[in-house]
Structure 1
Amino acid sequence: MKPITITPAVSANRLKTAQTAATPAEAQKSFSSFFKSSIEKVNQAQMESDKLTEKLALGQNVDLHQVMIASQKASVSLQLTLEIRNKAVEAYQEMMRMQV
Protein backbone atom coordinates (compact mmCIF):
# COMPACT_ATOMS: atom_id res chain seq x y z
CA MET A 1 0.00 0.00 0.00
CA LYS A 2 1.36 3.40 -1.00
CA PRO A 3 1.66 6.10 1.66
CA ILE A 4 -0.45 9.20 1.09
CA THR A 5 1.46 12.45 0.96
CA ILE A 6 -0.21 15.65 2.04
CA THR A 7 0.96 18.90 0.53
CA PRO A 8 0.24 22.27 2.13
CA ALA A 9 -2.60 24.24 0.58
CA VAL A 10 -0.63 27.48 0.83
CA SER A 11 3.06 27.65 0.08
CA ALA A 12 5.37 29.14 2.68
CA ASN A 13 6.34 32.00 0.36
CA ARG A 14 2.73 33.00 -0.21
CA LEU A 15 2.09 32.85 3.52
CA LYS A 16 5.04 35.13 4.23
CA THR A 17 3.89 37.70 1.68
CA ALA A 18 0.35 37.55 3.04
CA GLN A 19 1.61 38.19 6.56
CA THR A 20 3.56 41.32 5.65
CA ALA A 21 1.27 44.18 6.43
CA ALA A 22 0.66 46.81 3.81
CA THR A 23 0.65 50.43 4.78
CA PRO A 24 -2.78 52.06 5.06
CA ALA A 25 -2.10 54.08 1.90
CA GLU A 26 -1.25 50.92 -0.07
CA ALA A 27 -4.33 49.13 1.25
CA GLN A 28 -6.54 52.09 0.34
CA LYS A 29 -5.06 52.30 -3.15
CA SER A 30 -5.47 48.57 -3.66
CA PHE A 31 -9.09 48.62 -2.46
CA SER A 32 -9.97 51.65 -4.56
CA SER A 33 -8.47 50.15 -7.71
CA PHE A 34 -10.33 46.87 -7.07
CA PHE A 35 -13.59 48.72 -6.49
CA LYS A 36 -13.11 50.89 -9.58
CA SER A 37 -12.40 47.91 -11.82
CA SER A 38 -15.45 46.10 -10.44
CA ILE A 39 -17.72 49.03 -11.19
CA GLU A 40 -16.24 49.30 -14.68
CA LYS A 41 -17.10 45.61 -15.24
CA VAL A 42 -20.70 46.23 -14.13
CA ASN A 43 -20.91 49.20 -16.50
CA GLN A 44 -19.50 47.10 -19.35
CA ALA A 45 -22.13 44.41 -18.72
CA GLN A 46 -24.88 47.06 -18.78
CA MET A 47 -23.59 48.52 -22.06
CA GLU A 48 -23.34 45.07 -23.66
CA SER A 49 -26.91 44.31 -22.61
CA ASP A 50 -28.10 47.64 -24.06
CA LYS A 51 -26.34 46.97 -27.39
CA LEU A 52 -27.86 43.51 -27.75
CA THR A 53 -31.32 44.77 -26.77
CA GLU A 54 -31.09 47.58 -29.32
CA LYS A 55 -30.03 45.14 -32.05
CA LEU A 56 -32.99 42.90 -31.19
CA ALA A 57 -35.40 45.86 -31.26
CA LEU A 58 -34.08 46.96 -34.67
CA GLY A 59 -34.67 43.48 -36.06
CA GLN A 60 -31.01 42.67 -36.65
CA ASN A 61 -29.76 39.11 -36.62
CA VAL A 62 -29.19 38.44 -32.90
CA ASP A 63 -30.07 35.40 -30.82
CA LEU A 64 -32.82 36.03 -28.29
CA HIS A 65 -31.12 33.72 -25.80
CA GLN A 66 -27.95 35.82 -25.88
CA VAL A 67 -29.95 39.00 -25.31
CA MET A 68 -31.72 37.51 -22.30
CA ILE A 69 -28.51 36.08 -20.83
CA ALA A 70 -26.71 39.42 -21.20
CA SER A 71 -29.67 41.21 -19.64
CA GLN A 72 -29.74 38.88 -16.64
CA LYS A 73 -25.97 39.09 -16.14
CA ALA A 74 -26.19 42.89 -16.12
CA SER A 75 -29.15 42.82 -13.74
CA VAL A 76 -27.53 40.44 -11.27
CA SER A 77 -24.22 42.32 -11.29
CA LEU A 78 -26.02 45.62 -10.67
CA GLN A 79 -28.05 44.12 -7.81
CA LEU A 80 -24.86 42.74 -6.25
CA THR A 81 -23.17 46.12 -6.54
CA LEU A 82 -26.12 47.82 -4.87
CA GLU A 83 -26.14 45.31 -2.01
CA ILE A 84 -22.42 45.79 -1.46
CA ARG A 85 -22.95 49.54 -1.39
CA ASN A 86 -25.81 49.16 1.09
CA LYS A 87 -23.69 46.98 3.38
CA ALA A 88 -20.80 49.46 3.23
CA VAL A 89 -23.10 52.37 4.11
CA GLU A 90 -24.66 50.34 6.90
CA ALA A 91 -21.21 49.48 8.32
CA TYR A 92 -20.18 53.15 8.13
CA GLN A 93 -23.34 54.21 9.94
CA GLU A 94 -22.75 51.57 12.60
CA MET A 95 -19.20 52.82 13.17
CA MET A 96 -20.45 56.39 13.47
CA ARG A 97 -22.87 55.32 16.21
CA MET A 98 -20.04 53.82 18.29
CA GLN A 99 -19.06 55.75 21.36
CA VAL A 100 -15.39 56.50 21.80
Structure 2
Amino acid sequence: MPINSVSMMTPTQMVNETKKLAAPNTSYQAQQTFANTLKDAIAKVNDQQIQSDTMTNKLINGGDVDLHEVMIASQKASITLNATMEVRNKVIDAYQEIMRMSV
Protein backbone atom coordinates (compact mmCIF):
# COMPACT_ATOMS: atom_id res chain seq x y z
CA MET A 1 0.00 0.00 0.00
CA PRO A 2 1.80 3.13 -1.18
CA ILE A 3 1.66 6.29 0.89
CA ASN A 4 0.88 9.35 -1.21
CA SER A 5 1.81 12.77 0.04
CA VAL A 6 -0.79 15.51 0.18
CA SER A 7 1.18 17.62 -2.28
CA MET A 8 0.54 15.06 -5.03
CA MET A 9 -3.07 16.27 -5.28
CA THR A 10 -3.72 18.46 -8.26
CA PRO A 11 -5.41 21.83 -7.73
CA THR A 12 -8.57 20.57 -9.43
CA GLN A 13 -8.74 17.65 -7.03
CA MET A 14 -8.47 20.06 -4.09
CA VAL A 15 -11.22 22.27 -5.49
CA ASN A 16 -13.46 19.25 -6.07
CA GLU A 17 -12.87 18.08 -2.49
CA THR A 18 -13.81 21.49 -1.07
CA LYS A 19 -16.95 21.61 -3.22
CA LYS A 20 -18.07 18.38 -1.56
CA LEU A 21 -17.82 20.13 1.80
CA ALA A 22 -20.05 23.04 0.75
CA ALA A 23 -22.34 24.40 3.44
CA PRO A 24 -25.86 22.95 3.52
CA ASN A 25 -28.83 25.24 2.81
CA THR A 26 -31.01 24.57 5.85
CA SER A 27 -30.45 23.64 9.47
CA TYR A 28 -32.10 20.26 8.81
CA GLN A 29 -29.57 19.55 6.05
CA ALA A 30 -26.76 20.62 8.36
CA GLN A 31 -28.03 18.26 11.05
CA GLN A 32 -28.29 15.40 8.57
CA THR A 33 -24.81 16.08 7.20
CA PHE A 34 -23.36 16.14 10.71
CA ALA A 35 -25.24 12.99 11.70
CA ASN A 36 -24.05 11.14 8.59
CA THR A 37 -20.46 12.25 9.14
CA LEU A 38 -20.60 11.11 12.74
CA LYS A 39 -22.12 7.75 11.79
CA ASP A 40 -19.44 7.20 9.14
CA ALA A 41 -16.66 7.98 11.59
CA ILE A 42 -18.05 5.62 14.21
CA ALA A 43 -18.54 2.92 11.58
CA LYS A 44 -14.88 3.24 10.56
CA VAL A 45 -13.78 2.85 14.18
CA ASN A 46 -16.01 -0.21 14.48
CA ASP A 47 -14.55 -1.66 11.27
CA GLN A 48 -11.04 -1.26 12.69
CA GLN A 49 -12.07 -3.09 15.86
CA ILE A 50 -13.72 -5.91 13.90
CA GLN A 51 -10.68 -6.27 11.63
CA SER A 52 -8.40 -6.44 14.67
CA ASP A 53 -10.60 -9.08 16.33
CA THR A 54 -10.77 -11.13 13.14
CA MET A 55 -7.00 -11.10 12.67
CA THR A 56 -6.45 -11.97 16.33
CA ASN A 57 -8.82 -14.94 16.06
CA LYS A 58 -7.04 -16.12 12.89
CA LEU A 59 -3.71 -15.98 14.70
CA ILE A 60 -5.09 -17.86 17.71
CA ASN A 61 -6.61 -20.56 15.49
CA GLY A 62 -3.40 -21.01 13.52
CA GLY A 63 -4.56 -19.20 10.39
CA ASP A 64 -2.27 -17.81 7.73
CA VAL A 65 -1.57 -14.42 9.28
CA ASP A 66 1.67 -12.86 10.47
CA LEU A 67 2.11 -11.69 14.03
CA HIS A 68 3.26 -8.24 12.97
CA GLU A 69 0.10 -7.76 10.85
CA VAL A 70 -2.04 -8.65 13.86
CA MET A 71 -0.13 -6.24 16.07
CA ILE A 72 -0.42 -3.44 13.51
CA ALA A 73 -4.17 -4.00 13.17
CA SER A 74 -4.50 -4.05 16.94
CA GLN A 75 -2.61 -0.79 17.34
CA LYS A 76 -4.63 0.89 14.57
CA ALA A 77 -7.84 -0.13 16.32
CA SER A 78 -6.52 1.09 19.65
CA ILE A 79 -5.42 4.44 18.26
CA THR A 80 -8.69 5.09 16.43
CA LEU A 81 -10.71 4.18 19.52
CA ASN A 82 -8.57 6.41 21.77
CA ALA A 83 -8.84 9.31 19.31
CA THR A 84 -12.61 8.86 19.15
CA MET A 85 -12.84 8.87 22.93
CA GLU A 86 -10.77 12.06 23.15
CA VAL A 87 -13.01 13.80 20.61
CA ARG A 88 -16.06 12.65 22.56
CA ASN A 89 -14.56 14.02 25.78
CA LYS A 90 -13.86 17.39 24.15
CA VAL A 91 -17.41 17.58 22.79
CA ILE A 92 -18.85 16.80 26.21
CA ASP A 93 -16.61 19.44 27.82
CA ALA A 94 -17.72 22.01 25.25
CA TYR A 95 -21.38 21.13 25.82
CA GLN A 96 -20.99 21.47 29.58
CA GLU A 97 -19.26 24.81 29.15
CA ILE A 98 -22.11 26.07 26.97
CA MET A 99 -24.65 24.90 29.53
CA ARG A 100 -22.84 26.85 32.26
CA MET A 101 -23.12 30.10 30.32
CA SER A 102 -25.67 32.56 31.56
CA VAL A 103 -28.12 33.84 28.99
Whether TM-score is above 0.5 comes out as: yes
Q: How many Å apart are 1:60 and its aligned residue? A: 1.6
- 1:88 pairs, out of 69, 76, 91, with 91
Give TM-score, length-normalised by structure 1: 0.79
Rg bigger for which structure? 1
Any runs of at least 4 consecutive aligned residues in structure 1 with deviations exceeding 4 A, and if so which? Answer: 14-21
Aligned equivalent of 1:46: 49
Q: Deviations over 1:27-54 (max 9, x none)?
A: 1100000000110000000000000001
Aligned equivalent of 1:56: 59
Which consecutive residues of structure 1, in runs of 5 or more, have no partner in the other structure? 1-7
Percent identity over paired residues: 49
Q: How many Å apart are 1:91 and its aligned residue? A: 0.5
**What's the RMSD between the two structures over aligned residues?**
2.8
Q: Deviations over 1:14-33 (max 9, x none)?
A: 98997866311111100000
More RCO (CA 8 Å, sep 6+): 1
Q: Deviations over 1:45-96 (max 9, x none)?
A: 0000000001111122211111011001000000011011001100000000
- Higher mean C-alpha deviation, range 56-65 or range 72-81: 56-65
Which consecutive residues of structure 2, in runs of 5 or more, have no partner in the other structure? 1-10
